Chains A and B, each alone.
Chain A
Amino acid sequence: EDKVVQSPLSLVVHEGDTVTLNCSYEVTNFRSLLWYKQEKKAPTFLFMLTSSGIEKKSGRLSSILDKKELFSILNITATQTGDSAVYLCAVVSGTYKYIFGTGTRLKVLA
């Protein structure tokens, strides 16, 4: 059965800290891995990763994929209270099936 596992389930840090969120997966016919940020109802897209070892960056956020070890990490440096959210990892299997993890709930304290 396809699955995506995220860790930790929740995390509390102080502003300025650096955090690393993990996503491991076991899926058939891997196509890509995506990271989303969910603050209220609708997730917003962060990154899409398809190739191993190529880091994607957007400001203080970065992510990398390891297709050999079947995991990805999302790093957030110099965290801010606005980074508080649930971070979702999803793996695309085949052409359309999206398998989501349960997310990591991040809380950044001022």
Chain B
Amino acid sequence: GAGVSQSPSNKVTEKGKDVELRCDPISGHTALYWYRQSLGQGLEFLIYFQGNSAPDKSGLPSDRFSAERTGGSVSTLTIQRTQQEDSAVYLCASSFGRQETQYFGPGTRLLVL
């Protein structure tokens, strides 16, 4: 596609429920990143994929968070048993190979009540 797309754009959920956030990177981009931005805060790196592999998952905040990428394209970030502190904008970015220029999607705004 022309750019990185994310869905849903907004998600409101109840505490304890699971949510799935989706990212469609730019076609041909092999690197994919997930970030979280809480209100008034900087971006927090969560996880990076090169192809379908995530060499480092240490950025994930807890074991309630998981991510996968299939076919070297679409990625899903799953948050289980959501907590109020998970409320944030979740941003996905992709880049071609390991070039540093990342292109961001519009984000998913998650609100956990």
Interface residues of B (CB under 8 A from A): 4, 31, 33, 35, 40-45, 48, 50, 55-56, 89, 91, 98, 100-107, 109
Contact = CB atoms under 8 A, between A and B. Distances in A.
B43 A96 contact: no
B111 to A, nearest CB: 14
B45 A41 contact: no
A42 B105 contact: yes
Interface stretch (A11-19, A52-60, A66-74, A99-107): A99-107
B33 A41 contact: no
Contacts of A98: 33, 35, 43, 45, 102
Size category of the binding interface on chain A: 20 to 34
Nearest to A36: B104
A103 B100 contact: no
A99 B42 CA distance: 9
A44 B50 CA distance: 21
A80 to B, nearest CB: 23
A88 B42 contact: yes
Contact of B100 (A32, A40, A43, A44): A32
